Amino acid sequence: MPRIWNRIAGVQDDLKLFDIDLEELMVKKIGAGEETMFWLDRWIGDSTLKTSFPEAYKLERYKHCKISDRLQNGDLIWDWKSVPRTLESVSEIALLVSRISDFQTVQGNDKWVCTLASDGVTCFMWRAKLERIPTACALLKRGIRITSPICSYCKNAEEDTAHVLFRCSMAVRVWEWVLSWCDLQNIHFESAEELMAFAAQWGSCEMKRRVLISICYGTTWFLWKARCDWVFKKLRTSLAKVVDSIKSTVFLWMKYRRKHCTLQWIDWCINHFI
């Protein structure tokens, strides 16, 4: 079992209690395919091959076989219990072959990767600071015709970066929650620049500061995601959902980054500056 998975597998059930699916947050990046189960792990497509191709799976002799057992030098090596005969099994195998025909293993270990990398969020933060995220106002400035610059979530003001991330009703409530969770009183941010400057010089412990930076950056990212889900899918994300996403994602970043991390989900929820 890969190290990262060892570190976080213990919290899977805890997270499920909060309706957070760890498997949605983590994906497998395949190296040589020696540590990933061909049928039972999710490594190609949105579900396991067992779920996608149940008839073919029934015929597999070794249900726990690894990718490297079935894919060798670009060739597929099957080991069926009996020759596939039924129409369902034959057509499933044909589909399965086409799904993995372009897949190639590479040298190295298989790794679990957080679907939302902290580097990506840092990059988002910098773009927000430079007013380079596609808000309604930013689009208008670039000459892109949109129906209105007004925020479609609260309908109270023009939608620029500061509005989406700090002033919109959802943002205000999320920040209230996050700042109180971090035990930071009487703090209020008006811009990405202000937030970054505050987090960068906060406190005297480097490790705690990094946790705070992750929480703050993660918060802006999930506020932006909630805004996009509303604008493009008409989905109103609840405050609880945004908060849970922030807590669980930053928790995984911590687990992933720190070696020998013994941080437990329940402790994290109560006091994250451990």
Closer to Zn ion at the Cβ: 222 or 251? Answer: 222
Closer to Zn ion at the Cβ: 133 or 168? Answer: 168
| CA gyration radius, the chain | 23
Contacts of 71 (CB under 8 A, 6+ apart): 33, 38, 77, 100, 103, 105
Closer to Zn ion at the Cβ: 32 or 154? Answer: 154
**Contacts with Zn ion, 142-161, as mask; x by CB under 5 A:** ---------x-xx-------
Contacts of 117 (CB under 8 A, 6+ apart): none
Q: Measured from the CB of residue 172, what is the shortest distance to Zn ion in angstroms?
A: 9
**Contacts with Zn ion, 158-197, as mask; x by CB under 5 A:** ----------x-----------------------------
Q: Measured from the CB of residue 26, what is the shortest distance to Zn ion in angstroms?
A: 32
Closer to Zn ion at the Cβ: 176 or 267? Answer: 176
Assess contact for 89 and 35: CB atoms under 8 A: no
CA atoms within 13 A on the CB side of 244: 15
Assess contact for 120 and 222: CB atoms under 8 A: no
Q: How far apart are CA 108 and CA 106, in angstroms?
A: 6
Closer to Zn ion at the Cβ: 151 or 250? Answer: 151
Closer to Zn ion at the Cβ: 41 or 160? Answer: 160
Q: Measured from the CB of residue 217, what is the shortest distance to Zn ion in angstroms?
A: 21
Residue 112, strand partner residues: 28
Total residues binding Zn ion (CB under 5 A): 4
Q: How far apart are CA 175 and CA 194, in angstroms?
A: 14
Regarding 59 and contact with Zn ion (CB under 5 A), the answer is no
* Sites for Zn ion among residues 82-101 (CB under 5 A): none
Give me the amino acid identity at 17.
Answer: L
Q: Measured from the CB of residue 165, what is the shortest distance to Zn ion in angstroms?
A: 11
Q: How far apart are CA 252 and CA 5, in angstroms?
A: 11
Residue 69, strand partner residues: none
The site for Zn ion (CB under 5 A) is made up of 151, 153-154, 168
